[in-house]
Amino acid sequence: MATYTSNKRGASPAGHGFGGNLKFMWAQVAVDTSLVDSDTLEFFELPAGATVVYALLESTDIDTGTPAVTINIGDAGSASRFFAASTVGQAGTAAVATAATGLFHTYSADTLITGALGTDADNAAAGTITLGIGYILP
């Protein structure tokens, strides 16, 4: 089991300014051809008090065979809180959050946002997976 980590993992978010204003955190994780469903993608931490208002997921084509790869994005409480079985990695596309459990979810503590494959690629290819989350603080 491998862990693929973004360059923003462990980094503190920039100053948050006034409460109630929209904040945005994003990170990109580079993956290689050995990525499988037991591996973990680590994106970034959302701060305590963050209420998620939207999420965006983009991937290069990381499955060059018969498209099969799916990606789940969530946290320790729900591995697919934001995206469940997203197919963005099958052809290099993007999506807006499709799992309603993540919308307006509020975190009580700093929380690592992670991802994993739901289904392995038919023919894995190196590429990138990018996640962006918009949130507000009280």
The tens digit of pLDDT for each residue in 42-82 reads 999 999 999 999 999 999 999 998 999 999 999 999 999 99
Mean pLDDT of 39-44: 96
Query: Domains of the chain, with CATH numbers?
Result: 3-8+22-136 (2.60.120)
Q: In this predicted model, which residue has the larger pLDDT, 123 or 6?
A: 123
Contacts 24+ apart (CB under 8 A), 78-82: 78/102, 79/114, 79/116, 80/118, 81/105, 82/52, 82/55, 82/57, 82/113, 82/133
Is the dihedral angle over the CA atoms 123, 32, 41, 38 positive or is it negative?
A: positive
Confidence band (pLDDT; 50, 70, 90) for 16? low
Mean pLDDT of 107-127: 96
Report pLDDT for 9.
Answer: 78
Confidence band (pLDDT; 50, 70, 90) for 135? very high
DSSP label of 88: G
Report pLDDT for 44.
Answer: 95
Report pLDDT for 113.
Answer: 97
